[in-house]
A = this chain, B = another copy of it.
């Protein structure tokens, strides 16, 4: 790899001058600029980001920490982050935390060791030293932290919407699936749904689920129809669980949506390809990723910005696991 020195020698100037044209800083004669540009292209020179980063004590790298890219909700987020970052010439060091505090810490540490200029994290423990003592900007994505920049969807409203629409479509033996306790957005959804159901005086059952994994989803689904066989409406904690519930309902010979209605949460890409296609509360995941990246960039470029958070709207996305209804409301 050619260095700035090689370029300088090749062009017959000093490294300082080369540096000036590279960074468009200070004055440099048009002719020498030309010479230098020629030298650069002849030697295929590209600046060493590492040396740059060492001197300036900041890189063009950001850290992205997600629970598990294998969960279909996260690739959308990641892609949003990536696109926005790429357009602004930032690159991403990526890690999966598995919601494991130790892994989180390790990743955050190596992020810092690599001089990242900012971090986007989806964590259940934003209020720990791991993040609090970080002296670079952090944006929390999907999971919120009070008083810290974050981007998340309105889970409560989502839960409310799900309950509202399900009730409007005539289910009266509703089972609400309560997502993992340690995942705040899951609890928000749950609360939103429960509040609305109570408000409407509709009785309901609850099934607790402790993860969002594909393999376990099937278990909760079985449990649901075993404990509450008369269920005629399921508000699932997310689309993965909803998919498992749909699968199980059909396996049991129940007609969907005639006998059982199902509403998911997230709107992952495959939801629309299921049969029947899944009615769900949509989160704008890709846009959330982009928004988080945009916010982080602001924070990076403008230290003293008011710590703002962005709550994204959710939308009831009607498909075929719910019955049609006349315009209501």
Give the interface segment out of A14-22, A107-115, A179-187, A200-208: A107-115
Chain A 233-274, CB within 8 Å of chain B: the 1/0 string?
000000010011011001100000000000000000110111
**Residues in B neighbouring A93, C-beta threshold 8 A:** 61, 91-94
Given known pairs A59-B50, A114-B50, the reply for A243 and B269 (CB within 8 Å) is no
Are B47 and A114 neighbours in the complex by a CB distance under 8 Å?
no
- Known contacts A46-B112, A82-B94; 7 additional CB pairs below 8 A are A49-B114, A50-B113, A59-B114, A72-B75, A214-B270, A214-B272, A250-B275
A54: interface (CB < 8 Å): yes
CB nearest neighbor in B for A249: B275
The residue that A76 contacts in the complex, of B70, B107, B115, B246, with Cβ under 8 A, is B70
A325: interface (CB < 8 Å): no
In the A-B complex, the 5 residue pairs with the closest CB atoms: A49-B113, A94-B94, A250-B275, A69-B75, A243-B273
**Residues in B neighbouring A176, C-beta threshold 8 A:** none
Are A244 and B273 neighbours in the complex by a CB distance under 8 Å?
yes
So how many copies of this chain end up in the complex? 2
The CA of A53 and the CA of B109, in the complex, are separated in Å by: 16
**Residues in B neighbouring A59, C-beta threshold 8 A:** 50, 114
**Residues in B neighbouring A91, C-beta threshold 8 A:** 93, 95, 107, 110, 114
Given known pairs A113-B47, A274-B247, A274-B274, the reply for A95 and B92 (CB within 8 Å) is yes
Are A86 and B95 neighbours in the complex by a CB distance under 8 Å?
yes
A79: interface (CB < 8 Å): yes
Are B96 and A79 neighbours in the complex by a CB distance under 8 Å?
yes
**Residues in B neighbouring A270, C-beta threshold 8 A:** 72, 214, 243, 270
Min CB gap A74→B, angstroms: 8
Min CB gap A276→B, angstroms: 9
The CA of A191 and the CA of B68, in the complex, are separated in Å by: 35
The CA of A91 and the CA of B107, in the complex, are separated in Å by: 9
